[in-house]
Amino acid sequence: MNKSANKPNKHHFLPVFYLHQWAGADRKIVRFTKPYGNIVRPLRVHPDGAGYIERLYAVEGLPDEAKQDLETEFLSPVDSRAADALKAMLAGGDFTQAQRLAWAGFIATLLFRMPRAIASLKENLSQLWGKFIPGLEKIYAALPASDRNETLDDYLHGAGKGELAAKAMDAVRSLMGDEDVVRLLAALEWSVLTTDNAKHELLTSDRPVIHSDGLNHAGSHLIVPMGPRRLFIAVKDRSLIAKVRSAGQDKLVRAVNDFVVSNATVTVCGRTDSQLQFIQNRMGSETQPSLLSRLPEMQQAIVADLMQAWEMQSTLIAEALPERLKD
């Protein structure tokens, strides 16, 4: 049997266990999207029918059985462990260190797994691959015809590009699972705030994490909606939790919803459609760069040096290749 046939094509950037917290009595949530132009449309769906894009994390150019490894071999196990941790947190009982690390690991993935960040990565990857092509053309031209097992075009659009894409996704996986980040998140002071008395319910979206710049200073904080009436907060200084509470539930819910909706690029999710106008007025209006989308800017100087070295190296390889093949 072809193993790839059993691999899921629905790649959830918002896992089903997480979205299930917004499910009503009919076990459905409301998914808000903009299918046509700028008009927001609500649709009541099962949690499995929201928060995903077909083959979002697939690496084209690799063998079928390896294309979806980021989803099946990494994100799915992370989500499974986090689902158990969420149950324990909401139950208010004992919370083990393993569960704490599981939830911290899940939060770390939310910083990098969202659609716009992954799309940006793939676009930058395509541009980077284009910069390698002139050097590869020189090396290919230096090969004797008898050693050319495939055309250059086949390699450039197949295995070669797939190998680079795989390395990029491996880098994303390393960022998502960075042990230092997970331990830093796990070491923060945690609390689950309730907003039962707020006028409106909490929403979530494809940008559900609110966080400070850096998580290792006195004002560090990270906030994630974990249901229509529950809010996860992690801080460096526990006194900040009291300050957040002092704002009042209505102001807190409005501030959180304003952020997650304004930064949404693909979808907003809620328990009901009662906040449709709020979402229509704000969805995607103030999107901030994600951590992953900032990486290309941070790495421009590194890429420039890399390409300069590649230009020199590919020339030397092409010049030396005929002699080496004679040996």
Mean pLDDT by 10 residues, the chain (327 residues): 57 93 97 94 96 74 63 86 94 87 94 77 63 68 64 56 65 80 93 96 96 84 96 95 94 97 95 98 82 52 52 61 56
Pairing of strands 52-54, 10-12: antiparallel
pLDDT tens-digit readout, 238-280: 999 999 999 999 999 999 999 999 999 999 999 999 999 999 9
Residue 111's nearest CA partner among 300, 301, 288, 297 is 288
pLDDT of residue 53: 79
Assess if residue 131 is contained within a domain.
no
Cα angle 176-99-45, degrees, rounded to a multiple of 5: 70
Q: How many domains are contained in the chain?
A: 1
Among 179, 64, 167, 77, which Cα is nearest to 121's? Answer: 167
Q: Of 70, 77, 78, 292, which is closest to residue 165 (Cα–Cα)?
A: 70
202 in any annotated domain:
yes
Amino acid identity of residue 185, one-letter, is L
CA distance linking residue 60 with residue 67, whole number of Å: 6
d(CA 315, CA 262): 49
Q: How far apart are CA 26 and CA 15, in angstroms?
A: 19
The secondary structure of residue 289, as a DSSP letter, is: P
Full residue range of the structural domain in which residue 190 is found: 3-117+160-287
Q: Is residue 39 part of a domain?
A: yes
Q: Which pLDDT score is estimated for 237?
A: 93
Establish if 97 belongs to a structural domain.
yes
Q: Are 203 and 215 in contact (CB under 8 A)?
A: no
Asked whether residue 171 is assigned to any structural domain, the reply reads yes
182 domain residue, yes or no: yes
